[in-house]
Amino acid sequence: MRAKLESDFAISLSRWDLAPGEDINGRYTWTGWERRHWPASVIRPGVLFYAFDGRPNQRRVCYLLSVTRGGGFSYRSKSEFARKVKQRTGWTPSKSDPHWKRIPSGGDGHPASGFAIRWKLPKRVNIPYRKRFPQLGWEQLADQRVAAVRKLDSADLYDEGKRVLRTHLAVERDPKLRANSKEHWRAKLGGRLCCIACRFDFEKRYGPCGVDFIEIHHTAALGTSIQTVRRRVIDLVPVCSNCHRMLHKDPKSLLSIVSLRRIMNGRRG
């Protein structure tokens, strides 16, 4: 599609939607998938999308449509699917429609994903598009980097919180050394702790909530030695959370405070 696009995606319409004399504004569409799919998260009222005429003698984008009602949802049975389609569009899916038989039922463990929309026709277009549409009937027209983002569905479910017993070696840290180091740097920095790299002051930014809040960085990583090592208070330095992560970005080669300052100064320049 060489023409300037007004939408990032298109839907393939059925032959009933494109029948001569059919009022495109009087139509709606619905479908479901076994898993989450990106249109379920991007289709909502106000969104523009193209309609693709996939008939062999056409293969063109023929309408620019705007969603007036509907959107994506999850469901666990076909009866729930029908109710949600009715809630979102005012229409009830016909069980005599051949597509109804292909709608997954869903279940308690893995609910299915569906969407149902109605639309209006802002304008007709005529953009040749010779590619074959995917089986799901939606085609991403935008840059592939945008497509990858759109395929991430905010309603996706991920399993977390499982309890796992692990046995591992822990490198012991001396809490007294940490406390004394903070006192050393508090006195050296004029009575307030701040990041030694970027000078971020938690107390200044967050008020009483930020008092005494700072992370402590070992200038020489403890993990580099398999034996107990002796450290001084000046071997630990106060840093903010962001700088601390950057210092440890490469576990095999810690970034020094001086190097991190140079990077930040270079960015400012």
Residue 190 shares a structural domain with residue 143: no
Residue with tokens 């469901």, as numbered in its chain: 75
Residue 23 shares a structural domain with residue 141: yes
Specify if 160 maps to a domain.
no
> Length of the chain in residues, anyone?
269
Mean pLDDT of the 235-264 span: 90
Specify whether the CB–CB gap between 55 and 168 falls below 8 A: no
Specify if 251 maps to a domain.
yes
Domain boundary among 150, 167, 201: 150
Specify if 222 maps to a domain.
yes
Residue 37 shares a structural domain with residue 146: yes
End-to-end CA, the chain: 42
Residue 24 shares a structural domain with residue 143: yes
| Structural domain for 186, as ranges | 175-268
Specify if 110 maps to a domain.
yes
Specify if 161 maps to a domain.
no
Rounded Cα gap, residues 263 and 11, in angstroms: 47
Residue 42 shares a structural domain with residue 146: yes
Residue 64 shares a structural domain with residue 126: yes
Please name which of 242, 221, 238, 230 lies closest in space to residue 184, comparing C-alpha atoms.
238
Query: What are the pLDDT digits (tens) for 150-179?
Result: 444 445 555 666 777 766 555 566 788 888
Give residue 163's pLDDT. 75
Residue 259 shares a structural domain with residue 185: yes
- Tally the domains of the chain: 2
Give residue 143's pLDDT. 52
Residue 144 shares a structural domain with residue 185: no
Specify if 156 maps to a domain.
no
Give the side-chain half-sphere CA count within 13 A for 254.
14
Residue 118 shares a structural domain with residue 219: no
Residue 181 shares a structural domain with residue 220: yes
Specify if 3 maps to a domain.
no
Domain boundary among 117, 150, 183: 150
Residue 146: pLDDT band with limits 50, 70, 90: very low
Give residue 267's pLDDT. 65
Domain boundary among 87, 115, 150: 150
Query: What are the pLDDT digits (tens) for 36-94?
Result: 676 777 788 888 888 888 777 777 888 899 999 988 888 888 999 999 999 999 988 88
Specify if 241 maps to a domain.
yes
Characterize 229-240 residue by residue with b for buried, 16 or more Cβ atoms within 10 angstroms of its Cβ, and e for exposed.
eeeebeebbbbb
Question: CA 186, 188, 192 angle in degrees (round to 5)?
Answer: 35
Residue 88 shares a structural domain with residue 47: yes
Give residue 152's pLDDT. 45
Which tokens hold the place of 58?
A: 């056409």
Residue 116 shares a structural domain with residue 14: yes
Residue 144 has pLDDT above 50, yes or no: no
- Per the confidence metrics, is the pTM higher than 0.75? no
